[in-house]
């Protein structure tokens, strides 16, 4: 049996052990330790604090202090950047031949394709690598090798305003027909936006994917080739146009001009009956006294086969040659306590089997359990394709046209699909 096959077999066995709580907490000690003299690692990380505070900085400062105490030969310098800037700044650093040792950002595929990154198996111990949730491992692969290490994740269930539902005498929907019926009743009861459908350029690619999955489609097919204008996808957008948008159930702003941020703000102000939500929305809604109900986004006739998952990534760059030291640090990052601390503080989901199991049982994380339930079977956007950035931008700019009065979903999806196929061929 060759080494690659043996490693995959061991990873599978270790993942099963992790699911049973049998894996030991890893500290990064041992063969990946910092035994090559004093080394300073540079880490660039994204800021997750929604309130302008310093919780992300404090998290990394505390983690680094604990790590350095265990690894006296390794120092870690951390730079925290806003999500508006972090991907661009790392790109500029790499282009200037000043790559960081570690980056925690939104995408990895271009760097993997360029040969800039260490593979996961070059950095992580086998138990740590095997502990990642399966959909996140697959999404972190470029050409069947994992380079993107999932840092935090989320899923997007259907959120509804419990007070508005109670006032209208309706229950949480379990199918598309029930969802449309609930939206009609909300409208009749004076709700300004029965269903917020943000297909504007901020995050339309994600909102669209949630609906495509609930309709049995997706951006790609079973062979991981783009299938943007599949029959299932066209039927999904035909339904949205006819049954939600066309009946005036998506509010006063056209979906193609509605961004997620504005939709979330309207929801926390009590103006929206339903939308596809994000874990961070729970805290904001609670602050304004909005009681939130959560269920999986319904499928055509019941629960869909898969929900959408989202992950942010952390990766190790080769340029400075600090493989062992980067590995030691990342093994430490993925200990249960560190994974749970960051995910819990930011209303996000842990990326490992063992940390997810702990979150499911800890009462302080009860609000996140509906998200946890769907994550293991979730489907992520095709972030392992170098073409995805271009395709995603095309979706953001154009998918909203599919539900305009003059729009034809088959034409809009067909146009996006042709660009996607051409970009895929150029990879």
Asked if 135 and 194 sit in the same domain, the reply is no
* One domain for residues 188 and 282: yes
Q: Are residues 131 and 251 in the same domain?
A: no
Residues 228, 380: Cα–Cα separation, whole Å: 15
Q: What is the pLDDT along the chain (427 residues), one digit of tens a residue?
A: 433 334 444 444 444 444 444 443 333 333 333 344 599 999 999 999 877 789 999 999 999 999 999 999 999 999 999 988 999 999 999 999 999 999 999 999 999 999 999 999 999 999 999 999 999 999 999 999 999 999 999 999 999 999 999 999 999 999 999 999 999 999 999 999 999 999 999 889 999 999 999 999 999 999 999 999 999 999 999 999 999 999 999 999 999 999 998 999 999 999 999 999 988 788 889 999 999 999 989 999 988 888 899 999 999 999 999 999 999 999 999 999 999 999 999 889 999 999 999 999 999 888 888 888 888 889 999 999 999 989 999 999 999 999 999 999 999 999 999 999 999 998 8
Q: How far apart are CA 15 and CA 337, in angstroms?
A: 18
| 140 and 19, same domain (yes or no) | yes
The answer to whether residue 142 sits within a structural domain is yes
Q: Is residue 382 domain-resident? A: no
Same structural domain, 359 and 396: no
Considering the domain architecture, whether residues 276 and 336 belong to the same structural domain is answered as no
- In whole angstroms, give the CA distance from residue 236 to residue 217: 8
Same domain, 199 and 286: yes
Residue 316 and residue 251 share a domain: no
The answer to whether position 13 is within a domain reads yes
Residues 263 and 333 in one domain: no
Q: How wide is the angle at C-alpha 332 spanned by C-alphas 41 and 309, nearest 5°? A: 100
Residues 49 and 180 in one domain: no
Q: Is the residue at 62 inside a domain?
A: yes
The residue from 377, 396, 417 where one domain ends is 377
Q: Which CATH number does the domain housing residue 18 bear?
A: 3.40.190.10
**Do 125 and 225 lie in a common domain?**
no
Structural domain boundaries enclosing 15: 3-155+309-377
Q: Kind and range of the H or E element at 104?
A: strand 102-105
Decide: helix, strand or coil at residue 392: helix
Q: How far apart are CA 140 and CA 393, in angstroms?
A: 20
Q: Same domain for 59 and 84?
A: yes
Total domains in the chain come to 2
């Amino acid at each position: 049996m060759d080494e690659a096959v043996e490693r995959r077999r061991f990873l599978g066995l270790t993942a099963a052990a992790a699911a049973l709580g049998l894996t030991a907490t890893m500290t990064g000690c041992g063969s990946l330790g910092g035994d090559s003299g004093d080394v300073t690692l540079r880490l660039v990380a994204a800021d997750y604090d929604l309130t302008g505070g310093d919780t992300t900085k404090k998290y990394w400062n505390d983690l680094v202090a604990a790590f350095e105490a265990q690894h006296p030969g390794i120092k870690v310098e951390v730079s925290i950047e806003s999500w508006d800037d972090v991907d661009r700044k790392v790109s500029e650093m790499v282009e200037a031949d000043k790559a960081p040792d570690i980056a925690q950002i939104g995408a990895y595929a271009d760097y993997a394709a360029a040969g800039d990154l260490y593979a996961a198996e070059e950095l992580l111990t086998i138990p740590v690598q095997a502990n990642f949730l399966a959909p996140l491992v697959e999404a972190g692969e470029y050409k069947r090798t994992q380079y993107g290490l999932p840092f935090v994740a989320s899923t997007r269930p259907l959120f509804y305003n419990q007070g508005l539902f109670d006032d209208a005498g309706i229950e949480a929907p379990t199918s598309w027909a029930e969802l449309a019926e609930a939206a009609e009743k909300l409208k009749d009861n004076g709700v300004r936006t029965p269903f917020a459908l943000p297909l504007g350029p901020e995050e339309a690619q994600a909102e669209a994917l949630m609906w495509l999955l609930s309709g049995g489609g997706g951006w790609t097919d079973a062979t991981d080739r783009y299938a943007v204008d599949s029959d299932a996808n066209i039927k999904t957008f035909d339904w949205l146009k006819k049954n939600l948008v066309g009946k005036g159930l998506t509010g006063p702003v056209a979906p193609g001009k509605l961004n997620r941020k504005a939709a979330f703000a309207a929801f926390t102000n009590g103006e929206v009956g339903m939308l596809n939500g994000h874990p961070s929305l729970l805290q904001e809604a609670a602050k304004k006294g909005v009681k939130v109900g959560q269920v999986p986004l319904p499928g055509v006739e019941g629960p869909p086969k898969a929900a959408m998952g989202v992950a942010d990534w952390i990766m190790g760059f080769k340029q400075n040659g600090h493989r062992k030291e980067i590995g030691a640090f990342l093994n430490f990052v993925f200990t249960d306590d560190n994974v749970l601390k960051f995910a819990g503080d930011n209303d996000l989901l842990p990326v490992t089997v063992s940390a997810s199991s702990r979150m499911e049982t800890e009462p302080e994380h009860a609000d996140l359990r509906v998200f946890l339930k769907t994550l293991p079977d979730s489907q992520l956007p095709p972030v392992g394709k170098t073409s995805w950035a271009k395709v995603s931008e095309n979706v953001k700019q154009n998918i909203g046209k599919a539900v305009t009065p003059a729009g034809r979903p088959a034409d809009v999806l067909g146009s996006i699909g042709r660009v996607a196929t051409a970009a895929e061929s150029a990879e």
